[in-house]
Amino acid sequence: MENVNNVSEFILLGLSQDPKLQQLCFVLFLLFYVLIILGNLLIIVTIQSSEQLDSPMYFFLRYLSFVDVCYSSVTAPKLIAGFLVERKTISFVGCIAQLFGIHFFGCTEIFLLTVMAYDRYIAICKPLHYMTIMSRHVCSWMVVASWLGGFVHSMVQTLLTTQLPFCGPNEIDHYFCDVHPLLKLACTDTYIVGIIVVANSGMISLSCFVVLVVSYVIILISLKTRSSEGRLKALSTCASHITVVILFLGPCIFIYMRPSTTFSEDKMVAVFYTIITPMLNPLIYTLRNEEVKNAMRKLWSRGVVAGGKLKM
């Protein structure tokens, strides 16, 4: 790659150039990242160790938490370390690897959120056939398809970017390597590539968002015939998922559903889908879910009892 391009490394301008603000951001984003890791690992361990959380919904939630850990780990460590140094650099190969990772895990999360919406649709609209349609075998294939879809999407984005010549300058006005900032640095006309990026990233985000909205409209219509108790339980589950979808897909559509232009707000918008949403997901899915909270209490009780026995 270095033989093809004059640029062997890029300089990331980060979120801010103010030294005092960078110190504050270091503490803040380090806290965010710790919460992402601990919160999502707690979800994974709770679902894995609880026999009550054996439904397809929690099967998908476990993988969503795993993807969130991987997704945030692509950008957060580099962002946090960058607050401590004046010159934030990343190698060309490292930049391309980061580009691949952000689109791989990001697209996988979009597909998983779509699959989870389909799961809720079947559970609420076709409850008698739920376990037949959403068997463990089908759920496993849905997860595999989500990972495969994310991989194909990311390979397209990465191959398109690596074919471009980079002659300088090498300053990226962002805190991670993404397609649009890199297209601005290419020494060639990137109009066609920009259109392909919109058709790829933008249309995936938009089409999945439309599918999600339509599925929840159908769900809300079907809830009219349910009892008030059943309606409240279904709405509680769906509300958590809708919140995550809006927080994640909203910013993605804003960033990728336009040609290869960048705005000053892009960096703050990107913080929502790379840091904030992975941090909030465990809270959103546990605070409104009694089954998960009860499983966590039992897990905590087992841990306390086991700890007491060890001390004795």
Domains of the chain: 9-311 (1.20.1070.10)
Statement: residue 138 has pLDDT above 90: yes
- The whole-angstrom separation of Cα 250 and Cα 281 is 15
Q: Which of 243, 161, 229 is nearest to 196 (CA)?
A: 161
For range 169-185, the mean pLDDT = 88
* Chain mean pLDDT for the chain: 85
pLDDT of residue 2: 42
By percentage, how much of the chain surpasses pLDDT 70?
A: 90
> Which stretch of 80-94, 197-211, 226-240 has the lowest confidence by average pLDDT?
226-240
Give the global pTM: 0.88
Question: Looking up tokens 């990242």, which residue turns up?
Answer: 33
* CA angle (96 as vertex; 177, 11 as ends), nearest 5: 45
pLDDT of residue 34: 96
Burial label for 277, CB within 10 Å (0-12, 13-18, 19+), is: buried
Burial label for 147, CB within 10 Å (0-12, 13-18, 19+), is: middle
Q: How far is CA 172 from CA 9, 156, 161, 178, 187, in A?
A: 10, 21, 14, 9, 14
The region that residue 168 occupies, defined by phi over 0 for left and psi between -120 and 50 for alpha, beta otherwise, is left
Q: Which of 249, 246, 243, 245 is nearest to 283 (CA)?
A: 243
Q: In what order do the strands lie in the sheet with 89-91?
A: 89-91, 9-12, 171-172
* Confidence grade of residue 238 (pLDDT, cut at 50, 70, 90): confident
* Confidence grade of residue 44 (pLDDT, cut at 50, 70, 90): very high
Statement: residue 1 has pLDDT above 50: no
- Listed in sequence order, the residues at least 6 apart from 128 whose beta carbon sits closer than 8 Å to its beta carbon are none
Statement: residue 260 has pLDDT above 70: no
pLDDT of residue 29: 95
pLDDT of residue 312: 46
Burial label for 151, CB within 10 Å (0-12, 13-18, 19+), is: middle
Statement: residue 25 has pLDDT above 50: yes
Statement: residue 3 has pLDDT above 50: no
**pLDDT tens track for 87-120:** 889 999 999 999 999 999 999 999 999 998 898 8
